[in-house]
Structure 1
Amino acid sequence: MNGYSDSHSEQAVRPSGGPSGGTEAGEVGVAQQAWTLLFSLLHTHMRNFPALAAEFELSPVQAHVLRQLGEEALAMSTLANYLSCDASNVTGLVDRLEARGLVERRSSEQDRRVKMLVLTEAGAALRGRLMARMFEPPEFVTAMPEEDQVALRDIMRRALKTQ
């Protein structure tokens, strides 16, 4: 299956109740079609995220935390905002990652009351493997002709530059 079936594309470009932007009833503009298809593609791909996290014996939220942590320390309150959850939820989440030896809490140099999260050596190694797996292109991308891959890459680069 190539992911580009006509029926899927037809459903994706005709969302119910959305603004049309097209010239005929039920039609949508090209920008909305492109965005709807991209969103659908990413949503479909992200359904695999729980299985990917499980490969590393992580919950999906734990995998998101490791993805968010990088070279620099991150305040637990910042992580709570990123995850759109209460700080008490982050405490339990960090407790489990800390018990596995993947992160450690440190007091902020600016404010000792603020707890910063830092990856341990083991956490950084696991994060590296996780990120490598996350960024493996799916089959539908690798199956595209190289000229389509180049065009897709260039379009995505231009889109990201406007952000």
Structure 2
Amino acid sequence: MTPRPDHLTCEVVELIGTVVARYYEEYENAAAEHSLTGAQARVLGLLAHEPMPMRRIAQRLKCEPSNVTGIVDRLETRGLVERRPDPADRRVKLAAPTDAGAATAERLRDSLDFAREPLGELSVTERTLLKELLRRMLGIAPE
């Protein structure tokens, strides 16, 4: 039988859940202000970091590649994303933001105040510790 989590662990889990819910609510609202769905905004945000093939986008978003194809199609129709050959393998197509898409992703990112404002109230040491703890929880190696 698995032991019940202690009170502190339960409270931390609830707080993490609240942070995630509030982040997604703000993200959805910010996306809507740019006439995007949350999924479209997330794809655009990923592509703003680097162009990538549909399969990798799907892996990052934990969804089916066919879903990503539809999202990229809609972003492409709006002139926010383009498909281009991968220089390393011309058989592979990369989705990449257009200039308008990169600008939209930046405006979207800049409009997300929920996490940025409270984090700004933490010291650099506190933010660094929080980052290290979150990376450890996710199994990401220390930098």
The TM-score normalised by the length of structure 1 is 0.68
Is 1:153 the counterpart of 2:130 in the alignment? no
Q: Tell me which stretches of 4 or more aligned residues in structure 1 moved more than 4 Å.
A: none
Is 1:20 the counterpart of 2:10 in the alignment? no
Over 3 Å counting, the alpha-carbon distance change for 1:19 and 1:100 in structure 2 is farther
Q: For the aligned residues, what is the CA RMSD?
A: 2.8
Q: Indicate if the aligned counterparts of 2:26 and 2:114 stay in contact, CA closer than 8 A.
A: no
Over 3 Å counting, the alpha-carbon distance change for 1:19 and 1:54 in structure 2 is farther
- 1:158 shift after superposition: 3.2
Unaligned 5+ residue runs, structure 2?
A: none
What CA distance in whole angstroms lies between the structure 2 residues aligned with 1:33 and 1:51? Answer: 27
- 1:32 shift after superposition: 4.0
Whose helix fraction is larger, Structure 1's or Structure 2's?
2
Q: Indicate if the aligned counterparts of 2:23 and 2:114 stay in contact, CA closer than 8 A.
A: no
What CA distance in whole angstroms lies between the structure 2 residues aligned with 1:138 and 1:74? Answer: 27
Over 3 Å counting, the alpha-carbon distance change for 1:132 and 1:89 in structure 2 is same
Amino acid at match of 2:4: S
What CA distance in whole angstroms lies between the structure 2 residues aligned with 1:101 and 1:124? Answer: 11
Q: Give the alignment partner of residue 101 of structure 1, picking from 79, 91, 96.
A: 79
Unaligned 5+ residue runs, structure 1?
A: 1-17, 23-27
- Percent identity between the two aligned chains: 36
Cα shift readout 1:91-138 (whole Å, capped 9, x = no counterpart) = 22111111111111011123222110111111111111111112x246
* Aligned partner of residue 112 in structure 1, secondary structure: strand
What CA distance in whole angstroms lies between the structure 1 residues aligned with 2:61 and 2:128? Answer: 30
- 1:156 shift after superposition: 1.3
Whose strand fraction is larger, Structure 1's or Structure 2's?
2
Q: Which residue of structure 2 lines up, in the alignment, with residue 57 of structure 1?
A: 35
Amino acid at match of 1:97: L
The TM-score normalised by the length of structure 2 is 0.76
What CA distance in whole angstroms lies between the structure 1 residues aligned with 2:116 and 2:99? Answer: 32
Q: Give the alignment partner of residue 109 of structure 2, picking from 131, 150, 154.
A: 131
Q: Which residue of structure 1 lines up, in the alignment, with residue 118 of structure 2?
A: 141
* Aligned partner of residue 70 in structure 1, secondary structure: helix
Q: Give the alignment partner of residue 52 of structure 2, picking from 52, 74, 80.
A: 74
